[in-house]
Amino acid sequence: MADRDGFIWYDGKLVPWREANTHVLTHSLHYGLAVFEGVRAYKTAKGTAIYRLAEHTQRLLNSARIYMMDIPYAKDVLMEAQKEVVRANKLESCYLRPIAFYGSEKMGISTVGATVHVAIAAWPWGAYLGEEGLEKGIRVKTSSYARHHVNVTMPRAKLAGAYTNSILANLEATRDGYDEALLLDTQGFVAEGSGENLFVVKDGVILEPEIASALTGITRDSVIRIARELGYDVQSRRLTRDDIYLADEAFFTGTAAEVTPIRELDNRVIGEGRRGPVTSKIQARFFDVVGGRAPEYESWLAYV
Ligand code: PMP
């Protein structure tokens, strides 16, 4: 990732990609306290648009607030910087990665005295769980690792350190030949994927797990609004892994994963074992929304 052409916004300036470096004694590298976002920009008929830029930028600021990290840039500056990065790299559609982290002024747990840096990179990134996954659905395995308890890493924060838990779960599942992991909370109820929220469809109703140990996904929020607009009843409730075994359909949502059907969980085929009719409708509508083909959702698009 480091050796490529292009520009990264780094502490207020666009710097050549290969020069966007930091010292090995940077505090965040040692203690894991960095907050970040994953954002996508899509090509539309009216030009490239960053999807739900304001909401992603607000979540970055919220993550920082939870961890008492003072990001030295206002929301509008960070939003404009993200647009600038897409323009500078001449990207039509891409993934953006804003990150705020502590510098190398000091060692020791306390962040007091360490400077906050912000970087924003953008690059082309196709379907996170594969084009085939988007069409045919993926195979998922329940992880032996629990999702963080609500009083461990603070689930409303998109925190770099919290992703060690995602990595454990994802490696376990993928090394066993599955496409992704499903994590349960510390009480055994369904939480989320290693980088996705989950929905199931049962008897025409769309259900999501109560958002306790899971990240409050922005794609999740989009899907709830899209599903309701399509006339579906969407409910949040405590879900168990066998609720998913018995569901008619299941799918993951995320900025990277978009809307990815799940065709199997723990070797149980879900529904017909393919992208189901409700998932198909929501997925198609989602791609219309992000691609600028749904005028009602125009306010979610920030043209660069
Ligand atoms: N949960 C986790 C753990 C994630 O990393 C992500 C991706 N950011 C999501 C859920 C989905 O969130 P969003 O739709 O905002 O990308």
Transcribe 68-100 into DSSP letters.
Answer: T---SS-HHHHHHHHHHHHHHTT-SSEEEEEEE
Instruction: Using the mean position of ligand 1's atoms as its centre, give its distance from the Cα of residue 108 in Å.
Output: 30
What the chain holds in terms of domains, given with CATH numbers, is 7-123 (3.30.470.10), 131-290 (3.20.10.10)
Under the banding of pLDDT at 50, 70 and 90, the label for residue 206 is: very high
pTM above 0.95, yes or no: yes
Summarize the confidence of residues 83-89 as an average pLDDT. 98
Instruction: Quote the percentage of the chain above a pLDDT of 90.
Output: 100
Query: Which residues, 6 or more positions from 297, have their beta carbon under 8 angstroms from its beta carbon?
Result: 289
Whether 218 lines ligand 1, by a CB cut-off of 6 Å, is yes
Phi/psi at 78 (nearest 5 deg)? -65, -35
3-state secondary structure of 251: strand
Separation of CA 253 and ligand 1 centre (Å): 8
Q: Is residue 244 within 8 Å of 200, Cβ to Cβ?
A: yes
Query: Which atom of ligand 1 approaches the CA of 214 most closely?
Result: 1
Q: Is 220 in the pocket of ligand 1 (CB under 6 A)?
A: yes
Mean pLDDT over 121-136 rounds to: 96
Dmax over CA atoms of the chain, in Å, equals 57
For the residues 266-276, what does the mean pLDDT come to?
Answer: 98
Enter the ipTM: 0.99
What does the pLDDT read at residue 179? Answer: 98
Banded model confidence at residue 247, pLDDT cuts 50, 70, 90 = very high
Choosing from 57, 184, 223, 255 the residue with most ligand 1 atoms within 8 A of its CB, the one to mutate for a pocket test is 255
pLDDT at position 178, please?
98
Mean per-residue pLDDT for 159-178?
A: 98
**Cβ(38) – ligand 1 distance below 6 Å:** yes
How high is the pLDDT of residue 67?
A: 98
Give me the mean pLDDT over the 273-286 stretch. 98
Question: Which of the four pLDDT bands, split at 50, 70 and 90, describes residue 38?
Answer: very high
Q: Whose CA is nearest to atom 10 of ligand 1?
A: 196
Across the chain, mean pLDDT equals 98
Q: How far apart are CA 49 and CA 46, in angstroms?
A: 8
